[in-house]
Every structure is written in structure tokens, then in C-alpha cells.
Amino acid sequence: MFREFDRKIILEDGREYYGHSFGDTGDKVCEIVFNTSMVGYQEIVSDPSYTYQAVVMTYPLIGNYGMADDDYETKIPTIGALIVREYNDFPSNFRSTATLAEIMKKYKIPGISGVDTRSITRFIRGFGSCKVLITDASTSIEKGMEILKTTDIPRNAVSCVSCKKVWTSYPGCKEEFHVVAIDCGMKLNIIRSLNRCGCRVTVVPWDSDPDVIENLSPDGVFISNGPGDPTDVPQTINTIRSLIGKYPVFGICLGHQIIALAYGAKTYKLKFGHRGGNHPVINTDTDKIEITSQNHSYAVDMKSLENTGLSITHVNLLDRTVEGLECVKDKVFSVQYHPESSPGPQDSFYLFDRFINMMRERKDNA
């Protein structure tokens, strides 16, 4: 049965889109972005990298397979909001234990359905990411624009989603290596992937000092994905700078950008970012094209890499942005995309094997 519009979104330029509420019904100001993935809305909703962001799903039907207990990327979702064309509140999936709306309401995440997601996506592609207000349909445009004008999106996203104390995840198989993972908003499937490779993973907060990490005697150091601008976490950048050359280091997404900044390179914000499960990336060593899962707003400035000691290993075929870096001498490498993404392409899981081989070589030469 048709429901009267009860919610709307207001963009920074004054555009309004009316729709129906699901999840929480509180007002929210976020950065609006879009994701082109056809599946994986649970992983998107629970990915800490979407903190303070309202995600427009370009795939038209969302919610149809519910939410499964084993598929969360974090225990407490922090996504800003979810915007969809059609929401299904009657999932058909034997693994489902809750509806998407129930989980969003539990964690105070507003959702709006019935809006023209194609129009919004075209706007973002044309004009770039911007602030958006999700509010009641009765909110006047004047009041909405005033809220947008006077509300800043916080820059403390990493500190909000990082763990507060050290904790450890043990492998289900024979333990071969000990990895210290710096949590900048880490997806749980990264830890699962390292565990499957025989790694005990000790997770430390984003602002941990180098001494804390060294006292844990790791075989390797990992820097995770996370939300926001990489220049907002100078503590993490300085920590990595201090650890370079002492341990094999592997970074994903925000971790990739942090490594670049630690070597003296620069980053910049993309017009509308990369978010989806089908971005083609070429490996410059093998000329093999990988189909990758991506979620980021910032990229490494290619020109700034000169004289840093880093070389480019992967390039995005859509816009030629930097997707991978390495310093062979220091045993450091990183990728902008998500090799662990689940569900999603599995073309890039070899990167975990590379990290394992680096730690094995370090042990053999000790």
C-alpha cells in the first residue's frame, strides 16, 4: 500500500528529495556519497569507513536478504545514513536474523527509501560529494539550509571507531606469525583473513605509540582501512614513520594513504570517491587486471611520490589514480582497494600471501 512521504533529504544546493522512512527517524547531517555494489549492503552498513556518510545505493532493491549474524564488519555500525530506491522489509534468507530496518533503528541510523537514487547519483558525479540533511518531510527548506550551513561534519571519525584498548584474535589453525594491526576503523574480515593465514592478530588503537607496538614483538605490522581524511591522524603517520624498516608493513585503504604520508608523499580528496565492487586495477608488475572492491574519498598524489622511495605497483584503469605502493628495501607495501572484501571479488587475496612471505623471510633471516 502506498504511504505518504514522511521524510526528505536536502542537499547543499537546495535540492529536495522526498521519500519514506526506515530505521531511525532522527535528523542527520552527513556527507553524501554513492556505492555501485549490487550486493553487500550489510557489509556497507557495518563498515566503519562510512562514519559520518550518507550512502546512496545505486542498486534499486535493498533489504531483500536481511541481516546475518556472521556478516558484520564491525560490532557497532557507525554509518551516517542509508538512501535507497526500494526497501524490502520481508527478507528471504535462511541466515537472516533481523531486518535491515531493525538494525538501523537499533543503532540510530536513519534510512530513506522511494527517492530518485539515479538523479542523486548523477548530481554527485557532476558536482561532487557534499553535505546532506536527512530530516522530516515537514522541515522547511529555509530551516534545512540553515542547519546545513551551521553544521560541520566532524573530523574525528578515526578516534570514534578505533578500539579503545588492545585485544587479540587467535587463528583457528596453527599459529605461525604475530601481526600487530593498527585499528583506524578496521573491518572484521581483515582480521578473519589474517587469522586464516595462520596469524595471531593483536589489535591496537589508532594513536598507539611505536614503543607499544615494538613491546608486543610483532612479526609484521598492519594498518587498517578507516574513515575520513588521512591527514587527520598525524599520530598514526608518525608511528608508521618510526616503524618503517623494522618490520614488514602492509596497509589497506586508509592504511595505504598513511604509508604514503609517512614517506613524505601527499594525498588529495577525490571529486566523488570510489565505492563499489567492480573497479578495474592493473598490476604494473604483471600487467594483470584485478577487479577490486573499493571505498574511499582520498587518493595519493602520483606526482608527490618522486624521491620518496615508494614505487607504484597498481593503477586504477578508470581514472589512473594510484592503487598500490611498495618500498622493497623496507619491506613495505599497500593497496588502496580491499583484497579481503566479502562479498566481493577475490582477485587480490594474493596480497595477504605476500605479507606472509615477507614475515617468513624476516624470521628466516633473524
Which residues are identified as catalytic? Answer: 253, 338, 340
- Residues 226 and 274: their CA atoms lie apart, in Å, by 14
Residues 6+ apart with CB under 8 A from 4: none
Helix (H) or strand (E) holding 314: strand 311-316
Exposed/middle/buried for 339, CB within 10 Å: 0-12, 13-18, 19+? buried
- Residues 179 and 314: their CA atoms lie apart, in Å, by 24
- Residues 22 and 265: their CA atoms lie apart, in Å, by 43
Residues 6+ apart with CB under 8 A from 202: 166, 167, 168, 178, 179, 180, 181, 216, 218
> Beta partners for 221?
180, 249
Q: Pick the closest to residue 295 from 72, 74, 37 (CA basis).
A: 37
47: left (phi over 0), alpha (psi -120 to 50) or beta: beta
Preceding amide of 154 cis, omega within 30: no
Residue 304 CA to its chain's centroid (Å): 24
